[in-house]
Amino acid sequence: MKSRRWVFPALLVSALTLSLAPTAQAHGSGGHGGGHGKAPRTVGYYTNWSGYDRNFLVKDLVTNGTAPRLTHLNYAFGFLDESGKCVSSDPWADYQRPFSAEQSVNGRTDDAGQPLLGNLNQLKQLKAKYPKLRVNISLGGWTGSKFFSNAALTPESRAAHVRSCIDLWLKGNLVGAAPGAAAGLFDGIDLDWEWPASEGAPGNVIRAEDRENFTALLREYRSQLGRLTWRTGKTYDLTAFLPANPAMVDRGFEVPKVFNLLTFATVQGYDYHGAWESVTNQQSAVRTPAADPTSPKFSTQVTVDHYLRKGAPRDKIVLGVPFYSRGWTGVRNQDNGLFQPATGPAPATYEAGYEDYRILKAQLGKFKVHRDAKAGHAWLFDGTTFWTWDDPTEMKRKGRYVAERRLGGAMAWSLDGDTADGELIRALKDGLS
């Protein structure tokens, strides 16, 4: 599975919401907001492939200081089959892999015969250690959104999809495991449909009616989650990841209705530009740089202002920030490499043109750091290779932007990109405070 989650030509979706009436706000557990004097949320994505090549385990969220700084953790991703039914994208990683004492959050070796193994058991241990942490299952992503349109198409398909997801992830009835093995682990569901009525990964099913059907799907989630709450007494989040591109927002989302149904939404604050383009640029600037030659202009301010104009409440907008860089090589050595032609994506560890922050930091001696403090972005350049650069200085800047605009918080994609001492999450949290 690719580590790439989103590219701007198909900008993103992810947000959290709770499960009673559409207008319910958090009831204390899922809805800490940046507005109205409440502390902003700090949301992070942990992927089910983090434990493979990156060897970044759930336990590392404890050892690098991330877990106590989070209000919400999204576990990515669950997939949908062609009928729209929820399925695990990787049963081994999710609930079958045993962990040793050294790898486990609680310091004990897994028993091969225990009802729940894998990342889900580690997340269960993490919640025991940090009881205030909300853990949600995220559905879809770049490679898992192919059949969302099928799931949302009719009242019958929507009801069946939501039923299957509640059964699998909230009731915990995992395929091949004991009934209810993961019951009670997840506090809600995060929808990462990339994208309603717009192109995403090649082969995705796209329909013109996706926009209205996305709203109808959220209503079905609210209805079924509300009934589950009556049985369990537990409040559930319902969230979604939403794109940065204003044209995609307008094409795919009834903004006021969507935000009314969500606990909050995580809004893409990155992938504004990348190596799918032939000219270097910023991927996550707070404001559009003055010399940016592209049109239309993309920046965090453009995105946030668009959602506000469309009727999104500011305390439900959670701004996404990147724990990775976008890069180009063969860059013309002029103006420190910014807005210059390039021959292609920069070589990288997992995917050309995409590199984790922690890996680039270890190579920092080869590059010079450049900043545009007015626009709020930074980059690295060595004369031929260019990387966007969200370091602690830029993370703190983004956190301050969220706080100053009284938004609902910040979200990090993805937590495995941080250093062993968690310097990005620490700087982000400092900016939010």
Neighbours of 234 (CB within 10 A): 14
Strands 386-388, 324-329: pairing kind: antiparallel
By CB neighbour count within 10 A (0-12 exposed, 13-18 middle, 19+ buried), where does 338 fall? buried
pLDDT tier at 16, thresholds 50, 70, 90: very low
pLDDT value at residue 38: 80
Mean pLDDT of the residues in the chain: 92
pLDDT tier at 127, thresholds 50, 70, 90: very high
**Catalytic option among 82, 102, 194, 355:** 194
pLDDT value at residue 31: 36
| Predicted confidence (pLDDT) per residue in 192-220, tens digit | 999 999 999 999 999 999 999 999 999 99
Name the fold adopted by 8-323+391-432: TIM Barrel (3.20.20)
Nearest to residue 411, comparing CAs of 317, 302, 326, 325? 317
Q: Is pLDDT at 17 greater than 80 in this prediction?
A: no
Instruction: Over range 273-294, report the average pLDDT.
Output: 98
Q: Is pLDDT at 9 greater than 90 in this prediction?
A: no
pLDDT value at residue 37: 55
Instruction: Over range 48-68, report the average pLDDT.
Output: 98
Residue 242 CA, distance from chain mean position: 9
* pLDDT above 70 coverage of the chain, percent: 91
User: Distance between CA 29 and CA 264 in Å, rounded?
Assistant: 13
> Is 355 designated active site?
no
| Predicted confidence (pLDDT) per residue in 136-174, tens digit | 999 999 999 999 999 999 999 999 999 999 999 999 999
Q: Is pLDDT at 21 greater than 90 in this prediction?
A: no
DSSP code of 168? I
Q: Is pLDDT at 34 greater than 70 in this prediction?
A: no
Q: Is pLDDT at 18 greater than 80 in this prediction?
A: no
Instruction: Over range 286-298, report the average pLDDT.
Output: 97
pLDDT value at residue 12: 32
CA distances from 302 to 170, 246, 294, 309, 382 (A): 36, 8, 14, 11, 30
- Judge contact between 185 and 134, C-beta under 8 A: no
pLDDT value at residue 57: 99
pLDDT tier at 428, thresholds 50, 70, 90: very high
DSSP code of 279? B
Copy the structure tokens of residue 57: 């385990």
pLDDT value at residue 112: 86
- Judge contact between 387 and 378, C-beta under 8 A: no
